[in-house]
Amino acid sequence: MPRNLTYKILKAHLVEGELTPGAEIGIRIDHTLTQDATGTMAYLQFESLGIDKVQTKLSVSYVDHNTLQCGFENADDHRYLQSVAAKHGVYFSRPGNGICHQVHLERFGVPGMTLLGSDSHTPTAGGIGMLAMGAGGLDVAVAMGGGPFYLASPKVVGVWLEGKLSPWVGAKDVILDVLRRLKVKGGLGRVIEYHGPGVATLSVPERATITNMGAELGATTSIFPADEKTQEFMKLQHRGSKFRPLAADPDAPYDEEIEIDLSTLEPLVACPHSPDNVVEAAKLKNVKLAQVSIGSCTNSSLDDLMMISRVLKNKRVHPETSVSLAPGSKQVLQNLIAAGGLEPIVAAGVRILEAACGPCIGMGQSPPSGAASLRTFNRNFLGRSGTKDAEVYLCSPQVAVASALKGRITDPRELGRPPRVQMPENLIVDDSMILPPAEDPAKVEVVRGPNIQPVPVKKKLAPSLKGEVLLKVEDNITTDHIMPAGAKILPFRSNIPAISEFVFSVIEADFAKRAKEKRGGFVVGGENYGQGSSREHAALAPMYLGLKAVLAKSFARIHQANLINFGIVPLTFVDPKDYDHIRQSDELEIPKLAKALRDGVETIQVQNTTRKRSYTMNLGFTSRQREMLLAGGLLNLTKERAGANSQ
C-alpha cells in the first residue's frame, strides 16, 4: 500500500501502538532541541530522572530567547545550561550563534529523522524533510532519556502545490493563505504535508518559513519532501553526505487535500490579533507604521536578508518608522557581511539586532503605545510584543521592506520591478560557537545560580476535586495569555514560585493572588484553549498556584499534553453549550474523579453547586494519561515506575 511521507517516517520510528488516525502511538526520537526559555526547566527535569547521558542520536541546547542580560538571572541560567549540557552529552549553541530553528536547519537537520523540541516552532525542520514536533520540556527530557514520545496518530492533509510564486510574493504568503483557509485550529490532530510540482520551485529556507508557521494552525507538524533543492542546501552547509531523498509514494493517500496554485497568490498580511486574520496587503495601505521588525525564526534566512539588502540599496527607511533587523544565525550574518549585504541595510537606517528571537517574544523593541507594528514574525497575539495596546501585523520580508520605505503597509508591487538577488555559491560555515559535550563528564560541575529553584511536583490526584472557578475565558486563549513572556517575566523561567505571580496577568492582574487565597480551583475555557507556544510554564506555574482542572470546549495539542504532564485534569464539554451556564466564582465539584480514571470511565459529571446544575465532561484519556493524572504528573509516574523496577 502506498504511504505518504509522514507515515513512512512514523512507521520507521514506531515503538508502541498502531498507525490508525486518533490512536495513541509512541515513537523513537532521534534529535532533541531546547532553548533557554524552556530549556532550564527541561534539564532540571532531565537531571531528576537520574540518567547520566542523553540517549538520543543528537541533543542540542540553544540560547536564543533570553539573551538580554539585564540582571543576573539570564546569565546564571546560560551558565547552568552550558555546564549541564557538557556533563550530560548535549551540544551547546552559545548566545549569539542564532535561533534554534535556523541553526538546527543549517547545521544538524537530516531528512527522515525525528526531532522533538521544547519550542512550538520546531516543525521548521520539516523544511528539510524531518518529522519535527514541538512539545513541553518534560516530554523532551523524557525523550533525551531514551523514552518514546507519545502522540495521537495524526491525520495527514496533503497540500498540492503547482505553479511558481510571482515577483514580490514570498513563502510567507503561502502559509498565510493556508491560515486564511484553515484558521488557527484547522490543523489540530493533523500533519500538513506539501507535495506536487510547485514544491521544486521553493528553496529550503522558503519551505522552512512555511513549516515554521504551520504551528499557528495547531498542527502536529508540517513537512516537505527531501529532493534536489534539499541536497543543494545541505551541500552548501558542507553536509551533503547526510542527504537522502525522501518523498511520498506515488498515489499516496491523504485524509484531506488542498490545492494551491502558487502563481495566483499575492502579498498578504495577518491583522491583529491572530495569524489567521489574513487580508491582501493592498487593502491596508492606509495603516501608518511606527515600527517594522524583520527577522525571527520565520523569516531571517540569508535569502530573506539579501533580498532586503538589494531593495534598500541607496534608499532610506521612512523617517517616522523605526526599523530593526535580526539575522537568524551567526552564519547568516557572516555571509551577509561577506556578500556586501549588510552595508546597504545599515546605511538605510535599519537598526541591527543580535542573532536571536528578540522582539518576537517581547524581548526588546516593544512598539509605542497604541501604535501599529509590522513584523515578519509568526505570532501577533495581544500583548506578545510587550505593548498591550499595540496593533501588530504579520507579513513577508517583501511587504516589510516596502512598508519600511513608505512608512505605511505597502504592497511591494508598488515598488516596480524587483531587484535581482544573487546568492553566494559558497557559504562561510563556522561552528566555533557550538560546543561539544565534555570528554570527561565527571570533571564537569553543574553551576546553579540563586534564581534556579527545584521543579515543583504535584501530589497524587485527590479522590474528588472541589473549588471555585477562578477564571472564565473565551476561545483561542493562548499560552501568552496564560503565562506571558517578555523581558520582565522570562528571567524567572527557572523559578516557578516567582514566575507564577504573572499567571493570567494579561487578563486579570490579581489572578495569582486570588488563586493562592482560594487554595486553587478551576479555569473554564472555550475552543482551542492553550494555543501557541509549547512553554510548559503555562501548565507548571498554574499547577503551583493550585489549578486542579481546566474545563474547555477543546484544547490545543501541546498545552493539553503539558496539563496532563503536570497533573492538571483537562476536561472537555460533551455539550459545548454548558460552557455558557458557568460563571466565574461558581463553586464546582467533581466527585469520585480518581475512581472514574482508574475504572476507565469515558464521561463524568461536574456539579455546579452554586447554580444547582451538572455538566457532562469527557474523560477521553489513554490508559497512560490516566496513570499520569492519578500519579500527579509524568515526573511522579516515572519515579514510581523506576522504583518498582528497582525492586
For residue 199, give its domain range.
Answer: 5-264
In this prediction, residue 292 carries a pLDDT of 98
First-to-last C-alpha distance (Å) of the chain: 45
Give the tens place of pLDDT for each residue, 14-70: 999 999 999 999 999 999 999 998 899 999 999 988 999 999 999 999 999 988 878
For range 109-124, the mean pLDDT: 97
**Residues 117-121: what's their mean pLDDT?**
95
In this structure, are 253 and 278 located in the same domain? no
The answer as to whether 342 is a domain residue is: yes
The residue ranking higher by pLDDT, 516 or 491, is 516
Residues 156 and 132 in one domain: yes
Q: Examine the pLDDT at 645 and tell me if it is beyond 60.
A: no
Flag whether 312 is in a domain.
yes
Are 241 and 154 contained in the same domain? yes
State whether 500 and 597 are in the same domain. yes
427 inside domain: no
Mean pLDDT, the chain, whole residue set: 95
**283 and 396: one domain?**
yes
Q: Which range among 215-229, 400-414, 475-489 shows the weakest confidence by mean pLDDT?
A: 475-489
Strand partners, 396: none
Q: What is the DSSP string of 130-193?
A: -EEEE--HHHHHHHHTTPPEEEEPPEEEEEEEES-PPTT--HHHHHHHHHHHH-TTTTTTEEEE
CATH number (domain holding residue 475)? 3.20.19.10
Here the CATH number for the domain that contains residue 45 is 3.30.499.10
Give yes or no: residues 285 and 142 share one domain: no
**Is the residue at 165 inside a domain?**
yes
Residue at a domain's end among 392, 414, 436? 414
**What phi, psi does 74 have (nearest 5°)?**
-65, -45
- Give yes or no: residues 477 and 554 share one domain: yes
Q: What is the mean pLDDT of residues 321-326?
A: 98
Q: Are residues 523 and 631 in the same domain?
A: yes
> What pLDDT was estimated at residue 507?
94
523 and 634 housed in the same domain? yes
Is residue 646's pLDDT more than 60?
no
pLDDT score of 393: 98
Query: Of 264, 280, 311, which closes a domain?
Result: 264
- What is the number of alpha carbons within 13 Å of residue 135 lying toward its C-beta? 27
Give this prediction's pTM: 0.94
End-of-domain residue from the set 241, 264, 287:
264
Residues 127 and 213 in one domain: yes
Angle at 66 between CA 309 and CA 176, to 5 degrees: 50
- What domain count does the chain have? 3
Say what percent of the chain tops pLDDT 70: 99
List, in sequence order, the alpha helices (H) in 49-144: 72-88, 100-107, 137-144
* pLDDT average, residue stretch 460-484: 96
pLDDT-based confidence at residue 642 (cuts at 50, 70, 90)? low
Long-range contacts (CB closer than 8 Å, 24 or more residues apart) made by 385-393: 385/359, 386/359, 386/362, 386/486, 386/487, 388/506, 390/366, 391/272, 391/287, 392/272, 392/273, 392/367, 393/269, 393/270, 393/271, 393/272, 393/284, 393/287
pLDDT at 232: 97
Q: Which residue has the cell 539573551?
A: 67
Give me the active site residues, please: 64-65, 119, 379, 533, 535
453 within domain boundaries: no
| 260 and 324 housed in the same domain | no
426 is a domain residue? no
The pLDDT of residue 486: 82
In a domain, 433, yes or no: no
Q: In terms of domains, do 259 and 273 share one?
A: no
- Exposure string of 546-570, with b = 16+ CB inside 10 Å and e = fewer, is bbbbbbbbbbbbbbbbbbbbbbbbb
